[in-house]
Structure 1
């Protein structure tokens, strides 16, 4: 019997999207090996990776247990993992309605949180915080998204169905970017305390905690 992990995850050390896929894999107990692409060498635009993802972005996965099935786009990957492998519905739901609510939040994360937070990080880190009006726009959009989450989480513990699901996990890594880079941790602490509690509950989960520890290790190495 082969000891090879079932999945290969193509990611990068810095960006959040690969790490959120790793969190889902870890929480589901699925074995995987991460290949970290070096963006400074533009490995994500190299011919080998473009065969897997013509968009030249991370993450991408190869499912070696399913005919080397290959998929890219982080939330599409997450939907695939729970639909195919989460038979006990640890991070998903058996009923149609809650499945649609999960998709709703995954789409909001992909269209609302990721792009705005990502642009904020880019202009702050790569452009020295200039132009200021552009940075302010993306910081304000980051605040808006966090306030949307706070408005919901002030009334319930989790986004969907009364338990942690992939709808929640999808937001976590980008929210840590809001803490570290975009706004500072005071904003969530003071203006969105239920979001902070929600984040802390996820960070305490064993699989997520292990992935976050690995991220710190990689960043410091």
Structure 2
């Protein structure tokens, strides 16, 4: 099978933070890819054309055409695959055993903490057909708790692991962007700069990276 680009990324637009964070990592590593944007509302991610690659029927899914059509899904598993095979210079990964375990720790925390809580907060604030104030309050408070965990670490060091920006940091950016647009404006008195100054500074540095700005521009084009 011949492909002009090394990877095919099954994702969605304009939302879907998990797909966009994989795109950011692909950009960081200078890897070529084609994005196929599935319409989640119409069930395209659960169609046979996609589930033949990803039985979970969710996005993202990545196919590496230069590695025997290797298929991998779950966003942070994809990220670990990409840095393992395609970051020999450790541009956005780490080298020591301890740092590698800590990087994995942060990816697990992002996947088990930030993503689910921010996602539920977004759902109950923005999409749920009934207004359930207790659910909104619970998940908005959990969103603030996750920011507090990050603040407790980033107030003492510039980056999460290894003394530099890595995929540990980049894995958080798209979900933080979503929360700042959808969830946190609904929290009375929330002041990102004042309440979480270290996270605010870290977030700004990540948003200033070329990869993040490029993906933000692609996302914005879908909303015009």
* TM value normalised by structure 1: 0.96
Partners of 1:202 and 1:19 lie apart in 2 by 14
What is the match of residue 101 of structure 1? 102
Aligned partners of 2:171, 2:191: CA distance in 1, in Å? Answer: 20
In the alignment, is residue 187 of structure 1 matched against residue 191 of structure 2? yes
Aligned residues: 219
Contact persistence 1:129–1:135 (CA under 8 A): no
Q: Does 1:12 align with 2:12?
A: yes
| Aligned 1:31-46 pairs, distance under 5 A | 31-46=32-47
For residues 1-221 of structure 1, the aligned pairs below 5 Å read: 4-13=4-13, 14-127=15-128, 130-184=131-185, 186-218=190-222, 220-221=223-224
Q: Deviations over 1:173-192 (max 9, x none)?
A: 11111110111294322211
Provide the C-alpha distance between the structure 2 equivalents of 1:62 and 1:207, rounded to a whole number of angstroms: 20
The change in CA–CA distance for 1:129 and 1:179 in structure 2 (over 3 A counts) is: farther
**5+ residue gaps, structure 2:** none
Question: What is the Cα deviation at residue 41 of structure 1?
Answer: 1.6
State the distance in 2 between where 1:47 and 1:157 align: 44
RMSD: 1.4
Using the TM superposition, give the Cα deviation of residue 129 of structure 1 relative to its aligned residue in structure 2, in angstroms. 6.8
Structure 1 residue runs of 5 or longer lacking an equivalent are none
SS for the counterpart of 1:171 is: helix
